[in-house]
Amino acid sequence: MLLPKNEELIKESEEFIFSAIASKDMVIDYGKGCYLWDAEGNQYLDLDAGLYCSILGHSNEEFNKVIIEQTRKVVHLGSNFLSLSVLEAVRQIATITPDGLKKVILLCTGSEAAECALKIAKVSTGKYEIVGMERGYYGITQDAQSASGFGAYYGMSTPRAPGSHKILAPYCFRCPVRETYPQCDSLCLEVSKKLLDSNTTGNVAAFIFEPILGSGGIIVPPEGYFKRLKELADEYNALLIDDEVTTGIGRTGEWFGIQHYGIVPDILFASKTLGAGFPVAAVVTTPGIEKRCQSKKMIHVQSHMFDPLPAAAAEATISIVKKKRLVEYSKREGRYFLKRLEELKEEYDLIGNVRGKGLMIGVEIVNPTSGRPDPEVGVKLEMELLKKGLIVSFSSLTSVFRILPSLIIERQEIDYAIQVLEDSLRKVKV
């Protein structure tokens, strides 16, 4: 039952919320570790880590202490001054990024970082065309959304930026060219190249990609795909922009998702996981690209660029992940979670596919008869899980449950989640 003060607050505030996206019919009061409690006192195991951000768990005391200490020093300076927390943050970021990437811009959100990365690519190359993936998602701002494959779904109401192109997603479970890996030899990229050759003007500045496509349904590209993508980018004399907003800071069992694939991008940007729930983002590139941007007088100024408080959050996140060895932990516990989910897949034909790396996992829900995506059943299952105290987001667009818990999730919590999922699978009918 709601406390009287909570009931009054909820009732009085509902009329003031601009609802731009549907939300669950519950109000959260507080969180601790991998758990959330709503305004009625009900406890939930959170497999979303907020919106995949809170990799250290909710209300992490060590992290909170750093934030509180920084607020006592200085919160905001503007772009005219650097702070000690900024210097420490960029140094920490440079210790974990792929070789050669060490020039850092600190911002606040993933969409800002995507926009900045695209700007750097355009300025440094002198070209304007951007190639994204048809199931990719890079943010909600104009250029980022134009490069994304879900523009209309995410509310894009204006024409895409000029020069926006797409390649096919490497979705092996439902191959867009109806081939089978590895016999296909990345045919999806060969088909995409033919389309690009006939649609671009020869001014491709960059290819932008996610190492694992998150909003697209936790799509894990096959071995060798990104090496071929790099070859394709080289053919166009274009840069590679790596979107690590969701896959970064240990989420996939490496510091960055691209480190699974043996290539180094030209530009990398991170957010979400970088601040463990606090809004901070980073764009990282090479000294050579920075020098080309400087030679062309590029200016990038934002009110909260290089702010001390977000910088402290980023530095604290990386330090704690290092100290707790959460990158290795994510790899190990992710393998265990995948194994348990694969076991469920063998028993329940509502599960069509299980895929992922580390603690970034997708479970595709299908119609047992046709094998096709079944979002209607997925929504029913999501509601059943919520009733049983398990928060895990389901995408009706892709018919996929996205499981991205905090990196501190314990083995018994994984086992509990599997048990709740199995109980719900038994109950939900097609």
Beta bridge partners, 36, equal: 31, 44
Taking each helix axis from N to C end, the angle separating 411-427 and 375-387, rounded to the nearest 10 degrees, works out to 120
Query: So what's the pLDDT on residue 290?
Result: 98
Query: So what's the pLDDT on residue 157?
Result: 67
Query: So what's the pLDDT on residue 152?
Result: 63
Beta bridge partners, 53, equal: none
Query: So what's the pLDDT on residue 196?
Result: 94
How far apart CA 45 and CA 389 sit, in angstroms, is 6
Could you tell me the maximum CA-CA distance found in the chain, to the nearest angstrom? 65
Tens of pLDDT, residue by residue over 344-357, are 999 999 999 999 99
Tell me whether strands 164-167 and 393-395 are parallel, antiparallel or unpaired.
unpaired
How far apart CA 56 and CA 17 sit, in angstroms, is 29
Query: So what's the pLDDT on residue 181?
Result: 86
Cα-to-chain-centroid distance, residue 107: 16
Which tokens sit at 209? 């990609």
Which tokens sit at 413? 């919590």
How far apart CA 344 and CA 287 sit, in angstroms, is 48
Candidates 216, 192, 177, 219; CA nearest to 131 is: 192
Cβ neighbors of 369 (< 8 A, separation 6 or more) are 430
Domain extent listing, the chain: 64-324, 330-377+388-400+411-430
How far apart CA 338 and CA 359 sit, in angstroms, is 9
Candidates 138, 228, 230; CA nearest to 189 is: 228
Q: Helix/strand/coil (H, E, C) string of 262-275?
A: CCCCCEEEECHHHH
CATH superfamily placement of domain 330-377+388-400+411-430: Aspartate Aminotransferase, domain 1 (3.90.1150.10)
Tens digit of pLDDT per residue, the chain (430 long)?
555 557 777 777 777 877 766 667 788 999 999 999 999 999 999 999 999 999 999 999 999 999 999 999 999 998 889 999 999 999 999 999 999 999 999 999 999 999 999 999 999 999 999 999 999 999 988 899 999 987 666 666 678 889 999 999 999 999 888 888 888 888 999 999 999 999 999 999 999 999 999 999 999 999 999 999 999 999 999 999 999 999 999 999 999 999 999 999 999 999 999 999 999 999 999 999 999 999 999 999 899 999 999 999 999 999 999 999 999 999 999 999 999 999 999 999 999 999 999 999 999 999 999 999 999 999 999 999 999 999 999 999 999 999 999 999 999 999 999 999 999 999 987 6
CATH of 64-324, one of 3.40.50.720, 3.40.50.300, 2.40.37.10, 3.40.640.10: 3.40.640.10
